[in-house]
């Protein structure tokens, strides 16, 4: 394991508990606001979901997202950021079309150098998660082999160490390039 992927090891139960908490909070936001919701986290394989590199990747995605919102003059009704060992999470509520928000987040996921690591879920005011397919956008590709990412993950086609090594390289290359541009 590389130094970048050290962190507090999470059990399967920790990860499942975090997912349940996320769903409960999304349901709370739907009841309270009855508007479009964003739930943002990262696609990080393995049982270490939070450390300084992961936080830096997460914060980059959040920064890009906020810049895009500003460019489109989209205002948030509510937002919350949570940094925890099971992975950082962000929630926001918008009085905007769920398809407009999904298009914005999918553009980030597809075009940003680290976008493959970003996971923006968009939920309609009726509580339905908006899929890429609804917008005519292809499923996400595995960043190692190019096949369908969901299928690679489900079949455990790649070793966790190969995935985290690739993530570390992507992130360090990106942040080094950004630093040299400053």
Over residues 131-147, the mean pLDDT reads: 89
User: Residue 4's pLDDT band (boundaries 50, 70, 90)?
Assistant: low
The percentage of the chain sitting over the pLDDT mark of 70, rounded to a whole number, equals 97
What is the value of pTM for the model shown?
Answer: 0.93
| End-to-end Cα separation, the chain, in angstroms | 30
- Contact yes or no for 108/120 (Cβ under 8 A): yes
Over residues 38-65, the mean pLDDT reads: 95
The percentage of the chain sitting over the pLDDT mark of 90, rounded to a whole number, equals 76
User: Residue 43's pLDDT band (boundaries 50, 70, 90)?
Assistant: very high
One DSSP character per residue, 107-135 reads: HHHHHSTTGGGEEEEEE-TTSPBPPTGGG
Domain ranges across the chain: 3-138
pLDDT for 135: 87
Q: Is the pLDDT of residue 51 over 90?
A: yes
Tokens, residue 67: 């810049």
User: Residue 70's pLDDT band (boundaries 50, 70, 90)?
Assistant: very high
pLDDT for 113: 95
* Domain at 3-138: CATH architecture: 2-Layer Sandwich (3.30)
pLDDT for 103: 95
Give the Cβ contact number of residue 146 at 10 Å: 9
- The rounded distance, in Å, linking the Cα atoms of 150 and 114 is 18
User: Residue 8's pLDDT band (boundaries 50, 70, 90)?
Assistant: confident
In 3D space, the residue among 60, 16, 30, 53 whose CA is nearest the CA of residue 125 turns out to be: 30
- The rounded distance, in Å, linking the Cα atoms of 64 and 72 is 13
User: Residue 126's pLDDT band (boundaries 50, 70, 90)?
Assistant: very high
Give the model confidence (pLDDT) of 82-109 as tens digits: 999 999 999 999 999 999 999 999 999 9
Average pLDDT, the chain: 93
């Amino acid at each position: 394991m590389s130094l970048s992927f050290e962190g507090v090891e999470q059990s399967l139960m920790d990860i499942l508990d975090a997912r349940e908490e996320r769903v409960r909070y999304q349901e709370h936001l739907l009841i309270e606001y009855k508007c479009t919701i964003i739930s943002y986290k990262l696609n990080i394989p393995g049982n270490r979901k939070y450390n300084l590199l992961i936080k830096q990747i997460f914060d980059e995605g959040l920064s890009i997202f906020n810049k895009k919102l500003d460019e489109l003059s989209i205002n948030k009704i509510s937002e919350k950021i949570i940094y925890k060992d099971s992975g950082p999470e962000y929630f926001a509520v918008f009085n905007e079309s769920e398809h407009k928000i999904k298009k914005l987040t999918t553009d980030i996921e597809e075009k940003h150098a680290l976008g493959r690591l970003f996971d923006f879920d968009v939920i309609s005011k009726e509580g339905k998660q908006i899929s890429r397919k609804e917008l005519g956008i292809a499923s996400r590709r595995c960043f190692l082999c190019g096949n369908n990412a969901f299928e690679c993950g489900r079949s455990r086609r790649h070793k966790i160490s190969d995935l985290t090594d690739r993530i570390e390289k992507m992130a360090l290359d990106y942040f080094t390039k950004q630093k040299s541009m400053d």
